C-alpha cells in the first residue's frame, strides 16, 4: 500500500514539474516521448544525454526529456527480468531462421563472461529487444502528456478569462 502511494506521489510530482514548463504541449510531450524512449534502452550513462540531444534536435523540450528519462527507472527492481525478455526477443528478431537463445546456465552468470568482447553479442539483442518496449511507451506517453497538458491549459485559460 505504501509503495503504491509513493509511486502515485512520484508521478504526480513529475507531472506538476511538466506543467510548469513554459512551452507548447506538443514540445513538452515530444521531450517526454524521447525521454521514455531512451529510458527503456540499456545504454546506462547515455540515456539522459541522448534524450536531451534528440529533444534539442527535434525542437522539443529538453527539460521534459531529462525528467522523463527517469520514469522507466521505476521498474529497476524488475530490471533483470526485463533485460532477459529484451534479450530473448532481440535475439529472436536478429536470428535467421528465427529462434530463441539457449537457456542460461550458472556458468553464464559469471562476471568474467560479461567483461570481454562477447558483451556486444549480448548488448545488441538487448538493445533491439528494448525497442519493443521503448517505441510503444514513447508513443503512449506522448499522447497522454499532450492531451493532459492541453486540458490543463484550457482549464487555466477559463480560470483567468473574465466572464
- Which tens digit of pLDDT belongs to each residue from 45-104? 899 999 999 999 999 999 999 999 988 888 888 888 888 889 899 999 999 888 888 776
Q: Which residues of 17-33 are buried (b: 16+ CB within 10 A; e: fewer)?
A: ebeebebbbbbbbbbbb
Assign 5 a pLDDT band (cuts: 50, 70, 90): confident
What mean pLDDT is predicted for residues 120-147?
Answer: 92
Percent over 90 (pLDDT), the chain: 44
- Supply 25's cell numbers: 504541449
Quote the pTM value: 0.83
Task: Give the residue, 63 or 44, on which the prediction is more confident.
Answer: 63
- Supply 62's cell numbers: 529538453
C-beta separation of 76 from 108 below 8 A: no
Assign 112 a pLDDT band (cuts: 50, 70, 90): low
* Predicted local distance difference test score (pLDDT) of residue 117: 56
Residue 20: closest CA among 54, 63, 66? 63
* Predicted local distance difference test score (pLDDT) of residue 98: 83
Distance CA 20, CA 18 (A): 5
Amino acid at each position: 500500500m505504501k509503495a503504491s502511494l509513493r509511486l502515485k506521489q512520484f508521478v504526480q510530482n513529475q507531472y506538476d514539474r511538466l506543467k510548469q514548463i513554459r512551452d507548447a504541449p506538443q514540445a513538452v510531450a515530444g521531450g517526454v516521448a524521447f525521454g521514455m524512449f531512451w529510458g527503456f534502452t540499456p545504454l546506462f550513462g547515455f540515456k539522459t544525454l541522448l534524450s536531451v540531444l534528440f529533444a534539442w534536435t527535434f525542437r522539443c523540450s529538453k527539460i521534459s526529456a531529462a525528467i522523463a528519462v527517469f520514469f522507466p527507472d521505476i521498474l529497476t527492481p524488475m530490471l533483470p527480468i526485463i533485460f532477459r525478455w529484451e534479450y530473448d526477443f532481440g535475439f529472436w528478431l536478429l536470428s535467421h531462421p528465427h529462434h530463441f537463445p539457449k537457456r542460461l546456465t550458472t556458468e553464464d552468470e559469471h562476471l568474467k563472461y560479461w567483461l570481454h568482447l562477447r558483451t556486444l553479442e549480448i548488448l545488441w539483442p538487448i538493445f533491439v529487444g528494448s525497442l519493443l518496449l521503448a517505441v510503444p511507451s514513447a508513443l503512449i506517453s506522448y499522447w497522454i502528456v499532450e492531451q493532459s497538458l492541453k486540458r490543463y491549459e484550457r482549464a487555466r485559460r477559463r480560470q483567468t478569462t473574465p466572464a
